[in-house]
Amino acid sequence: MRRALAACVLVALLAAVGTALGLPAGAGPALGAPSANTVAATNPQAAARVVAGLLDPLRASARDLQSRASARAAGNRRPALNEDEATAIARDSGRLRAWLDDHPAHRTAATLEKNRTWKVSFVGRDGEGEERVEAEVYVNDARGEITEVRTGPQVAWMMARGYEGAFGRAVNRWRIWIPLSAVFLLALIPLTRPRRLVSWRTLDLVALLSFTASWAWFNEGEVFTSVPLQYPPMAYLGLRMVWIVVSRARRARPLPPEPAHLRPSAAAGAPAPGRSGPRRIGLPSWAPTWLLITLLVLTLALRYGLNAFDSNVIDVGYAGVIGADRIVDGQTPYGTFPDDCGRCDTYGPLVYLTYVPFEAVEPWTGRWDDLPAAHGAAVLYDVLTVAGLLALGWSLAGLRLGLGLALAWAAFPFTAFTLSSNSNDTLIAAMITWGLVLARRPLGRGLFLGLAVAAKFGPGLLLPLWTRHPYPRADRTRRAGFRRLLGYVGGLVLATLLTGWVLLLDGLDGVRAFWSRTIGYQMDRDSPFSIWGQFPGLRPVQLVLMAVVLIGALVVLRWPRRLDLVQMSALSAALLIGFEMTLTHWFYLYIPWFLPLVLLAVVPEWPDPERPSPPAPAPAPEEAREPVPSPA
């Protein structure tokens, strides 16, 4: 009886409190209405349920009051630091002081950001007297600690700040990068033949991997260290490709005729004069075929798994999706991009066309989100390149060489870096690879080179070289040469028709916009990702190198006199590497442009080129004989 009475008193008190706080009448039990929560239930469990029913609205009201009070307090909270204090903390940064020693600032500006962080800007002047921000320091207002320091190009370029995983995310981890590099190198060198390990071929493969030194400093945000380190590998590879062409051209010269008594007997099985290498193309790898297949499957699974679950889409992939959306809507991509990617319409029409099927399946939402269409296009480019290298090697020397070339691409870490960044640069590699597969057919060679130029304009340097037929045994009559030239030009025209219609979607305005948004923009581009951008005084050297590359692109029209597939591949790689060395903006995503060409030149073991048959020696003149007098 006492428990029931106490419960009734408690309910009455809570009802009075609820009325005083303005709770609705329905919050408690209605008088005269029988229910499970009425006081008529005289046991303790029923009373507890009644109390809980009354307390729930009270708790909700209290939470609402607390949240509103916290919001008002946060809005009215004064910063813990003032501008002078934030600036003083920022000046304590040793990295800032080191930068300002060479780039003095004449004033500072401190502003409090929305996230309660002070941004302290140090403003100097450039060579023309214009103000520019030399450095930015971010200071946490509550803790008074420096959270980030940006100096020089890091102020304007987010990609120069060394943010973890900004390009490719997980592929940048050493536990992924090092195993890929090991597979690339160890699977392609002759481990079971130690005497052949020390060779130019091994050094070529190491030179390809040496871009890792520059990439590591880039990931730390040290662009003034990473940029100079990217040039030694490119210079070595470019010169090495030229040397391969020169050495094969020298070995292809016809030998002087030998006297008959000095010629080796064909019946003795003597080798052809001047030939010292292998007699057929091969893959000098210790790995058996089943191991090459296993490694290829594993590396491809790793690459596509990372792309699906731990990669990101950079602005290049975002641009492809937007361009495809514009084409589907009947607009030209040039000059019609949104503000968050306003200068992304700088690529050729083929890039945007290849995104159209994926954008049709997964339409663009208008935001820079996961962009599944960009993932689909990047995977397609990679699959096309792997399939092309497999077909190329298979057509030259069988399955084993095809597996070696495909594995070299799949295990090379910078191609995985490009894939996980969901860039469009692998499209260039795919088109060039299939151009090599069809190098015997002028129409196919011209078509795929034209498509590569319609994606990005750098491969245009190869247009003169690829007019030549890279098979010395082919019919070399003037009529056959003219027929091959017509096929090559026809392929270029076909590539132009397949892609050029995109420029006409907005009439002549689209053509004018195409020039200003692509070539015009690239010519005036400024960037800290080259020595030319970091040191403007080197501009004359850059112009000289450009002239050398252009002259080289014309010289190869006539030299070497006899061109084979190895020389064509090596010369193409040398021209693209030379072009990239002169770029004001260079990045690791450009390595796949020339990688298939370098792989074809260095991965297989090539026999010496065939020498043309020496002219037959002229018969020795018969000695003049005096007439013998006949007897009388």
Give the residue from 567, 300, 566, 286 showing the smallest Cα distance to 409. 300
Query: Could you tell me the pLDDT band of residue 17, with boundaries at 50, 70 and 90?
Result: very low
Q: Quote the tokens at residue 191.
A: 């481990």
Dist CA 12 CA 584 (whole Å)? 82
Q: What is the pLDDT of residue 56?
A: 66
Strand partners, 119: 111, 138
Strand partners, 117: 140
pLDDT digits (tens, 9 = 90+) for 570-583: 999 999 999 999 99
pLDDT digits (tens, 9 = 90+) for 563-614: 999 999 999 999 999 999 999 999 999 999 999 999 999 999 999 887 766 6
Report phi then psi at 109, rounded to 5: -145, 130
**Sequence-ordered list of residues with C-beta below 8 angstroms from that of 331, at least 6 positions apart, any chain:** 505, 506
Is 623's pLDDT higher than 80? no
Dist CA 503 CA 19 (whole Å)? 73
pLDDT digits (tens, 9 = 90+) for 165-194: 899 999 999 999 999 999 999 999 998 888
Answer whether the bond into residue 560 is a cis peptide, omega within 30°.
Answer: yes
Is 52's pLDDT higher than 70? no
CB 229 within 8 A of CB 213: yes
CA angle 101, 533, 171 (to 5 degrees): 95
Answer whether the bond into residue 29 is a cis peptide, omega within 30°.
Answer: no
Averaged pLDDT for residues 479-491:
94
- Crossing angle of helices 83-91 and 94-102, rounded to 10°: 80
pLDDT digits (tens, 9 = 90+) for 496-524: 999 999 998 888 777 888 888 887 777 77
Is 438's pLDDT higher than 90? yes
pLDDT digits (tens, 9 = 90+) for 84-124: 999 999 999 999 999 999 999 999 999 999 889 999 999 99
Domain 83-156 sits in CATH 3.40.50: no
Helix (H, G, I), strand (E, B) or coil at 103: coil
Q: What is the pLDDT of residue 24?
A: 41
Give the residue from 610, 395, 564, 570 showing the smallest Cα distance to 470. 564
Q: What is the pLDDT of residue 625?
A: 54
Give the residue from 382, 378, 401 showing the smallest Cα distance to 391. 401
| Domains of the chain, residue spans | 2-29+38-76, 83-156, 169-253+281-602
Q: What is the pLDDT of residue 473?
A: 77
